[in-house]
Amino acid sequence: MGRVTTKILPVLLLTLLVLAGCNRKLNYRDGQYRSAREMVRLKKTGRYSSSRPTGKSKTIGTTSSGARTKVVTKRPLRTGNATGTLASVIETARSYQGTPYLYGGTTRLGLDCSGLLQLSFGEAGVSIPRSSNEQAVWGIPVRTTELRPGDLVFFGASPGSRTITHVGLVTVVDDEGVDFIHASTSLGVVENSLESDYYLSRFIRAVRPQL
């Protein structure tokens, strides 16, 4: 019996090491570790994929707060129907994807949410206010059912809050839903779905820039 156990132990140890390595490889994607709970959530929403089909990369992430988000896949970007200046603003904002969050930041070294919008509009020759509260009154209020690419969306820090603490830029409105780009405190510049429970519960208002 002792001889059999001696033979089995090395095999068990080797198996455990292989499984540990596989688990580490599976949970690590795009520079950050994902918990098992996060992976289950991504699979349920259909946003997790271990394959990488051809196309352009779209760098999206997840948040620790549980917001539904998209992961990096190599597939064509959804472009929506923005034209002219707003199309340029969206393109510029997307060029900052992956930039880390920095409170008060206004460069590629670090950005906050309102700084991202100010830079993106600024590069298109449009001057907008610096803070999210000021940006919230810069334009005409619109309903969520009337959103277009280029509109600004504003959020509170907690569900039901009416105090604006965050802002994003709508990038896509189509049959798949509404996407917006913003500077997330945990992930930096990313795109998210406005329809996620996390963002809908914190949504306060939307405005359309008057260019």
pLDDT beyond 80 at 171: yes
150 falls in which pLDDT band (50, 70, 90)?
very high
pLDDT beyond 50 at 60: no
Q: Bin 150: left if φ > 0, else alpha if -120 < ψ < 50, else beta.
A: left
pLDDT beyond 80 at 91: yes
**pLDDT value at residue 211:** 84
Residue of 57 and 94 predicted with greater confidence: 94
**pLDDT value at residue 11:** 53
125 falls in which pLDDT band (50, 70, 90)?
very high
Q: Which of 126, 86, 122, 114 is nearest to 182 (CA)?
A: 114
**pLDDT value at residue 82:** 66
Quick: pLDDT tens for 41-51: 444 444 433 33
Residue owning tokens 């520079």: 31
Quick: pLDDT tens for 132-146: 999 999 999 999 999
Q: Which residues are designated catalytic? A: 113, 166, 182
Across residues 180-208, what is the average pLDDT?
97
Residue-range domains of the chain with CATH: 79-208 (3.90.1720.10)
Across residues 77-88, what is the average pLDDT?
74
Mean of per-residue pLDDT scores for the chain: 75
**pLDDT value at residue 57:** 36
pLDDT beyond 50 at 61: no
210 falls in which pLDDT band (50, 70, 90)?
confident
Contacts of 167 (CB under 8 A, 6+ apart): 113, 114, 117, 132, 135, 136, 152, 153, 154, 155, 182
**pLDDT value at residue 23:** 40
